[in-house]
Amino acid sequence: MRKYVPKDNVQGKSYYTDRFWVAPRVPREEVTDAHFTGVVATLGVLAKEAHVELGQLIVHIDARDNVAVIKALKEACGYTQCSEQSAVDYLAKDGEFELFYQLLNVNEAKRARVVCRIKKGEAIESIVPLFNSANFAEREMFDMFGIKVNNHPFLKRILMPDDWEGHPLLKTYPLHGDEFASWYEVDKIFGKEYRDIIGPENRDPAKVDRHDTKRFARIGYEVPFGTDISEGETQKEIEYSEALLVNYNKKESKTLDKRR
């Protein structure tokens, strides 16, 4: 029986698996740092869970509180820069996206990450009124995951073309693209009805046809330009020059092949 391949996560997977291997975890530490303790105290009940992982504070919050929490961090705790904002796809496992906001406190040189989860199809409130750097970051998140951002000033695809279908960083999206991606240029330039006329073999301009004698030549099997070699060609002996010194006669060497 063929092995079952899950369709909800088509990304790279290890061929070798060990049933008894349990992955260790990066230690999650209690919040003991004075600054981070103050931050957690400021957030109060808004912070559902807080811990320190590898020197940075991670605060888990409810997705509906994201603007309130980030506003508090910006105005009360001095986190004046939003370095990064994006999402992680957990649809296959939990049916959720995990969103994170990476914040920087310039004066204290501290970094905090605000993490929240939203269900599939839910939208998140934009933090552009607080941090303009989220403008591009949220657009990228929308482009890559299809997460809608409410009240974003200009929510539009940023890296992919406007008329693209699908969101490339979803775990369901294969690395080499889907059906739409492979026909994108053909559909756009000629129209969908030309898919059959052009065919999958001509879709790829990098395709090499072995019987094409107009663009390619086989060493040792040279034939005149444009000859039909679908029936096969005869091998020619490769001749090596025996002359030590070549007399480059300028007049003769300049004659060009007429068919070009």
Partner 1 sequence: MQVANKLSPFFENLNFERDDNTMVINFGPQHPSAHGQLRLVLELDGEQVVKAYPDIGYLHRGIEKMAENMTYNEFLPTTDRLDYIASTSNNYAYALAVEKLLGIEAPRRAQVIRTMLLELNRVISHLFFIATHALDVGAMSVFLYAFREREFGMDLMEDYCGARLTHSAVRIGGVPLDLPANWLENLAAFCDKVEYELEHTYEALLTENRIWKMRLEDVGVISAEDALNWGCTGVMLRGSGVKYDIRKEEPYELYAELDFDVPVSDRCDSYGRYRLYMEEMKQSVRIMRQLIPMYAQTQPQLMAHAPKYISATKEDIMTQNYALMQHFVLVTQGMRPPKGEVYVPTESPKGELGFYIKSEGEPYAYRLKCRAPSFFHTGLLQKLLVGTYIADVVTIIGTTNIVFGEVDR
Interface with partner 1 by CB under 8 A: which residues? 11-16, 21, 23-26, 53-54, 56, 58, 80-84, 86, 88-89, 100, 102, 106, 109, 111, 113, 131-133, 135-137, 140, 144, 157-161, 168-169, 173, 175, 188-191
User: At closest approach, how far in Å is the CB of 80 from partner 1?
Assistant: 5
User: At closest approach, how far in Å is the CB of 151 from partner 1?
Assistant: 17
Nearer to partner 1, 82 or 116 (CB): 82
User: At closest approach, how far in Å is the CB of 51 from partner 1?
Assistant: 11
Rounded Cα gap, residues 31 and 39, in angstroms: 10
CA contacts within 13 A on the Cβ side of 243: 4
Opening angle at CA 88, ends 82 and 94, nearest 5: 135
User: At closest approach, how far in Å is the CB of 250 from partner 1?
Assistant: 36
How far from chain centre, in Å, is Cα 151? Answer: 25
Give, in order, the Cα–Cα distances in Å from 7 to each of 4, 119, 121, 170, 179.
9, 19, 19, 12, 15
Rounded Cα gap, residues 85 and 97, in angstroms: 13
